[in-house]
């Protein structure tokens, strides 16, 4: 792909960006986040205050679904993940889902209140995200169980083969979620 492109989804405000990769025999280079260019295409004004990385050693690592009180700009430095989102904001789009495979040439902008999760599709994947507020132990989160049948996410790696945390496994089903958003 040669041009930066922004795509909308069925979840209001959840955006997908196609990022040009410039490569040669040494590898590739990309502008992962470029404020002026991306805002000109329709990305909301987004002031980055923190950059986080999540390194995942094994295929099948599944994290989420977490809705946080800040916006996120998600991408991968290498490898691929299956990204999944559930709108947990009160309103007409509550419960709506979206999923896409994220590779180095795909990024996703996630508004606050939309639960975010992912599953690694290969070994040694580095998932990265920019946020517009600092993490705080006092922040209000909303969670939903990633494998809740009511949510209906078609994860590529089944629950019995996924690598999850006990905390994420204990997130409530959608029918029991009390949204902060």
Q: Where are the alpha helices (DSSP H) in the chain?
A: 35-41, 166-169
> 8 forms bridges with which residues in the sheet?
15
Cα(first)–Cα(last) distance of the chain, in Å?
36
129 is catalytic: yes
Task: Give the contacts of 69 (CB within 8 A, at least 6 positions apart).
Answer: 112, 113, 133, 139, 140, 141, 180, 181
What the block records as the tokens of 7 is 């795509």
| CA 84 to chain CA mean position, Å | 7
134 is catalytic: no
Considering 33, 66, 118, 171, which one is annotated as catalytic? Answer: 66
Considering 118, 127, 129, 171, which one is annotated as catalytic? Answer: 129
Count of CB atoms situated within 10 Å of the CB of 46: 16
Active site residues: 66, 129
């Amino acid at each position: 792909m040669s041009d930066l492109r922004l795509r909308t989804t069925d979840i209001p405000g959840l955006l997908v960006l196609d990022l040009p990769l410039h490569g040669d025999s040494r590898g590739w280079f990309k502008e992962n986040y470029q404020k002026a260019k991306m805002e000109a295409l329709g990305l909301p004004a987004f002031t980055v205050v923190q950059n986080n990385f999540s390194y995942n050693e094994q295929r099948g690592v599944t994290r989420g679904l977490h809705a946080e009180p800040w916006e996120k700009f998600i991408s991968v430095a290498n490898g691929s993940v299956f990204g999944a989102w559930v709108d947990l904001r009160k309103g007409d789009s509550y419960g709506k889902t979206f999923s896409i495979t994220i590779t180095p040439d795909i990024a996703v902008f996630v508004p606050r209140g939309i639960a975010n999760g992912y599953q690694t599709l290969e070994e040694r994947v580095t998932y990265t995200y920019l946020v517009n507020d600092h993490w705080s132990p006092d922040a209000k989160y909303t969670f939903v169980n990633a494998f809740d049948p009511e949510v209906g996410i078609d994860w590529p790696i089944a629950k019995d083969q996924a690598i999850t945390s006990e905390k994420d496994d204990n997130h409530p089903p959608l029918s029991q979620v009390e949204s902060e958003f």
